[in-house]
Amino acid sequence: MSDSDSGRARGVLDRAAAGMLEASVLQRLAIATASTVAALAVGLLVVAAAGYDPAVFLRNVFEGAFGDSNAIARTLKFTSIFVLTGVSVAIAFRAGVFNIGVQGQFVVGGFATVISILWFAPMLPEGAVGGVALMVLGTLAAIVAGGAYAAFPGALKAYAGANEIITTIMLNFIAVGVVGFLVEGPFRGEGQRAPNTDRIPEYVELPQLVYDVPDFSILGLVVALVVVAVVAVVMARTGFGYDMVTSGHQEAAATYSGVDAKRTIVKTMTFSGMVAGVAGAVFAIMMQGYYSDPGGVATYGFDAIAVSLLAANNPLGVVPAGLLFGGLDSAGTHMRINSDVPVQLIDGIVGLVVLFVAAPELFRMAAERTGLGGEKR
Amino acid sequence: MASSTDRPPAVELRDITKRFGDVVANDGVDFTLEQGEVHALLGENGSGKTTLMSVLYGLYDKDAGTISIDGDVREFDSPRDAMDASVGMIHQHFQLVEPMTVLQNVVLGHEPTENGLVDEAAAREDVAAISDRYDFDVAQHLDTPIRDLDLGVRQRVEIVKSLYRGAEILVLDEPTAVLTPQEVEGLFDVMEELTAAGRSLVFITHKLGEAIEAADRITVLRDGEAVGTVSADDTSEQELARMMVGREVLFDREPRETTPGDPVFEAEKLRVRGDRGLERVRNVGFTVREGEILGIAGVQGNGQTELVEALTGLRSVESGTVRFHDEDVTTASRRRRIEAGIAYVPEDRHTQGLVLDYDLVRNALLGNQTIEPFAERSFIDWSAVRDHAESIVEEYDVQPPNPNAEAASLSGGNQQKFIVGREIEHDPDVMVASHPTRGVDIGSIEFIHDRLLDLRDAGLAIVFVSSKLAEIQKLSDRIAVMYEGEFVDTVDPDDVTEEELGLLMAGHDREADVDSTAVTADDGGGGDETPADETEPPASEDAPDGGAQS
pLDDT at A153: 96
Count of the separate structural domains present in chain B: 3
Identify the helix (H) or strand (E) that includes residue A363: helix A343-370
A374 pLDDT higher than 80? no
In chain B, residues with a C-beta closer than 8 Å to the C-beta of A260 are 333-335
pLDDT one-digit tens code per residue, B492-523: 888 887 677 777 887 776 553 334 333 333 33
Is residue B81 located within the same domain as residue B192?
A: yes
DSSP code per residue over A132-157? HHHHHHHHHHHHHHHHHHHHHHHHHH
Domain boundary among B427, B445, B474: B427
CB A287 within 8 A of CB A78: no
Cβ contacts (< 8 Å) between A263 and chain B: which residues?
A: none
The answer to whether the CB of A95 falls within 8 A of the CB of A268 is yes
Q: Is residue B322 scored above 90 in pLDDT?
A: yes
Give residue A295's Cα distance to chain centre. Answer: 17
Q: How far apart are CA B103 and CA B263, in angstroms?
A: 60
Q: Say if residue B271 is in the same domain as residue B372.
A: no
Residue type, A224: A
Q: How many CA atoms lie within 13 A of B162 on its CB side?
A: 28
- B102 vs B377: CA distance, rounded Å: 55
Could you say which of A3, A238, A252 has the minimum Cβ distance to residue B109? Answer: A3
Residue B162 forms part of a structural domain: no
* Peptide bond just before B373 cis, omega within 30 deg: yes
Backbone angles phi, psi at B288, to 5 degrees: -115, 135
Q: What is the pLDDT of residue B539?
A: 37
Q: Are residues B388 and B521 in the same domain?
A: no
Judge whether A63 lies within some domain.
no
Measured between CB atoms, which of B110, B335, B350 is closest to A258? B335
Q: Cα-flanking dihedrals φ and ψ of residue B483, to 5°?
A: -145, 125
B543 Rama sector, left if φ>0, alpha if ψ -120 to 50, beta otherwise = beta
Chain A stretch 200-239, residues whose beta carbon is closer than 8 A to a beta carbon of chain B: 237-239
Residue A64 lies in a domain: no
pLDDT at A27 over 80: no
Give B43 or A260, the one with higher predicted confidence: A260
DSSP 3-state of B171: strand
What's the pLDDT band for A7 if we cut at 50, 70, 90? low
- Mutate one of B349, B352, B356, B382 to test the A interface: name it (highest A CB count within 10 A): B352
Distance from the B172 Cα atom to the nearest Cα atom in chain A, whole angstroms:
20
Per-residue pLDDT, B361? 95
Is residue A373 in a domain?
A: yes
Angstroms from A270 CA to nearest CA on chain B: 18
Query: Tens digits of per-residue pLDDT, B476-489?
Result: 999 999 988 999 88
Say if residue B276's pLDDT is above 80.
no
Chain B residues inside the 8 Å CB shell of A2:
none
Instruction: Output the CA–CA distances (angstroms, integers) from residue B126 to B82, B106, B142, B220, B226, in the order listed.
Output: 22, 10, 11, 37, 39
Q: Looking at the structure, do residues A80 and A173 belong to the same domain, yes or no?
A: yes
- Per residue in B393-438, pLDDT (tens digit) is 999 988 888 899 889 888 778 899 999 999 999 889 999 999 998 8
Note whether B471 and B335 are same-domain residues. yes
Residue of A nearest to B109 (CA): A3
Query: Does residue B216 sit within a domain?
Result: yes
Phi, psi for B231 (deg, rounded to 5):
-80, 135
Buried b (16+ CB within 10 A) or exposed e, B123-152: bbebbbebbeebebebbebbeebbeebeeb
Give yes or no: residues A220 and A332 share one domain. Answer: yes
Last residue of a domain, one of B427, B450, B472: B427
The DSSP string of B223-260 is TTEEEEEEEGGG--HHHHHHHHH--SPPPPPPPPSS--
Q: From CA A135, how far away is CA A148, in angstroms rounded? A: 20
- Domain range spanning residue B396? 350-427
Q: Does residue B433 share a domain with residue B404?
A: no
Alpha carbon distances (Å) from B500 to A33, A60, A244, B513: 68, 87, 49, 11
pLDDT top residue among B426 and B311: B311
CA-to-CA dists, residue B125 to A79, B102, B103, B111, B116, angstroms: 61, 13, 10, 12, 19
Q: Verify that A299 and A361 share a domain, yes or no.
A: no
User: What DSSP string describes B337-377?
Assistant: HHHHTEEEE-S-IIIII--TTSBHHHHHTTT-TTSTTTEET
Does the beta-carbon distance from B367 to A258 stay under 8 Å?
Answer: yes
pLDDT score, position A217: 85
Residue B400, preceding bond cis, omega within 30 degrees? yes
Assess if residue B110 is contained within a domain: no
Asked whether residue A176 is assigned to any structural domain, the reply reads yes
Q: What is the pLDDT of residue B253?
A: 62
Flag whether A130 is in a domain: yes
Stretch B373-380: mean pLDDT: 88
The answer to whether B369 contacts A249, with C-beta atoms less than 8 Å apart, is no
If asked whether residues A243 and A279 sit together in one domain, one would say yes
Q: Which of residues 359-398 of B touch A (CB under 8 A)?
A: 362, 365-370, 375, 378-380, 382
Give the residue from B50, B365, B369 with the most A CB atoms within 10 Å of its CB, the best one to mutate.
B369
Other beta carbons less than 10 A from residue B348's beta carbon: 16
**How many percent of chain A have pLDDT more than 90?**
44
Could you tell me if B41 and B68 lie in one domain?
Answer: yes
Range of the structural domain that residue A250 is part of: 69-339
- Taking a C-beta distance cutoff of 8 angstroms, is the pair A336, A346 a contact? yes
| Inside any domain, residue B483 | yes
pTM of the predicted model as reported, rounded to 2 decimal places? 0.74
Neighbours of B333 (CB within 10 A): 15
Residue B282, chain A, CB below 8 Å: the answer is no
Write the CB contacts of A322 (distance below 8 Å, at least 6 apart in sequence): A79, A80, A82, A83, A86, A224, A307
CB atoms within 10 A of CB A137: 18
Query: Would an 8 Å CB–CB cutoff place B428 in contact with chain A?
Result: no
Within 10 angstroms of residue B95's Cβ, the number of other Cβ atoms is 11
For residue B362, the chain A residues in CB contact (below 8 A) are 242
Residue B279 sits in the same domain as residue B311: yes
Q: Per residue in A56-67, pLDDT tens? A: 888 888 888 888
The burial class, CB within 10 Å (0-12 / 13-18 / 19+), for B540 is exposed
Residue A225 lies in a domain: yes
Q: Does B334 sit within 8 Å of A258, measured CB to CB?
A: yes
Say yes or no for a CB contact (<8 Å) between B365 and A242: yes
The dihedral formed by the CA atoms of B345, B350, B355 and B361, expressed in degrees to the nearest 10 = 60
B207 and B62 share one domain? yes
Evaluate whether residue A122 is within a structural domain. Answer: yes
Find the angle CA(B145)-CA(B149)-CA(B152) to the nearest 5 degrees: 135
Answer whether B356 sits within 8 Å of A250, measured CB to CB. Answer: yes
B91 touches chain A (CB under 8 A): no
Query: Does A146 reside within a domain?
Result: yes
Q: What residue of A is the nearest CA neighbor of B375?
A: A239
Q: Test B348 with A246 for CB contact under 8 angstroms.
A: no
Say if residue B472 is in the same domain as residue B543.
Answer: yes
A297 confidence band (pLDDT: 50, 70, 90): low
- Of residues B480, B427, B424, the one with CA closest to residue B447: B424
B161 inside domain: no
Same domain assignment for residues B81 and B218: yes
Same domain? A37 vs A83 = no
**Cβ pair A360, A309 in contact under 8 A:** no
A191: exposed, middle or buried (C-beta count within 10 Å: 0-12, 13-18, 19+)?
exposed
Instruction: Answer yes or no: do A256 and B334 touch at CB < 8 A.
Output: yes
Q: List Cβ neighbours of A256 (8 Å cut-off, separation of 6 or more).
A: B314, B334, B344, B346, B352, B353, B366, B367
Q: What CATH number is associated with residue B218? A: 3.40.50.300
Residue A42 CA to residue A352 CA, distance in Å, equals 8
Same domain flag for B538 and B439: yes
Query: Counting one residue from A and one from B, how many pairs have CB atoms under 8 Å apart?
Result: 78
**Contact A253/B357, CB-based, under 8 Å?**
no
Spatial distance between the Cα atoms of B25 and A282, rounded to a whole number of angstroms: 59
Amino acid B526: pLDDT: 37
Give the closest-approach CA distance of B380 to chain A in angstroms: 5
Strands B72-74 and B87-90: unpaired
Contact A246 B367 (CB under 8 A): no
For residue B496, the model assigns a pLDDT of 81
Distances (CA, A) of A53 to A45, A59, A341, A342, B273: 10, 10, 10, 13, 70
Residues A364 and A240 in one domain: no
Are A237 and B333 within 8 A, CB to CB? no
Q: In chain B, which residue's Cα lies nearest the Cα of A21?
A: B357
Residue A253 and residue A359 in one domain:
no
How far apart are the CA of A250 and the nearest CA of chain B, in angstroms? Answer: 6
Domain match, A118 and A223 both: yes
User: A253 touching B, CB under 8 A?
Assistant: yes
Question: Bridge-partner residues for B169, per DSSP?
Answer: B87, B200
Shared domain check, A79 and A223: yes
Chain B residues within an 8 Å CB radius of A376: 350, 356, 408
Residues B305, B279, single domain; the answer is yes
In this prediction, what percent of chain B has a pLDDT beyond 70?
Answer: 88
Chain segment A181-201, per-residue pLDDT in tens: 998 888 887 777 778 888 888
A328 & A196 share domain: yes
**A155 and A44 in a common domain:** no
User: Is the CB of residue A7 less than 8 Å away from at least one CB of chain B?
Assistant: yes
Cβ contact, residue pair B80, A7, below 8 Å: yes
- Range in A96-100, A228-232, B217-221, B276-280 with the lowest mean pLDDT: B276-280
Integer CA distances (angstroms), A189 to A192, A194, A200, in order: 5, 9, 10
Query: What are the chain A neighbours of B369 within 8 Å (beta carbons)?
Result: 239, 242-243, 257-259
Using the 3D structure, point to which of B394, B427, B460 is the last residue of a domain.
Answer: B427
| The residue type at A84 | L
pLDDT for res A15: 65
pLDDT tens digit sequence for A46-103: 888 888 888 888 888 888 888 888 899 999 999 999 999 999 999 999 999 999 999 9
Number of domain units in chain A: 2
Phi, psi dihedral angles at B280 (to 5 degrees): -105, -20
User: Which one of B109, B338, B350 has the shortest CB-CB distance to A258?
Assistant: B338
Inter-chain touch B367–A376, beta carbons under 8 Å: no
| A242 shares contact with chain B (CB less than 8 Å) | yes
pLDDT at A1 over 90: no
Say if residue A43 is in the same domain as residue A164.
no
pLDDT, position A233: 95
Q: Identify the three-state secondary structure at position B323.
A: strand
Contact B358 A249 (CB under 8 A): yes
Task: Inform me whether the C-beta atom of residue A246 falls under 8 Å from chain B C-beta atoms.
Answer: yes
**CATH number of the domain within which A316 lies:** 1.10.3470
Cα separation, A283 vs A196, in Å, equals: 15
Residues A252-273: what's their mean pLDDT? 94
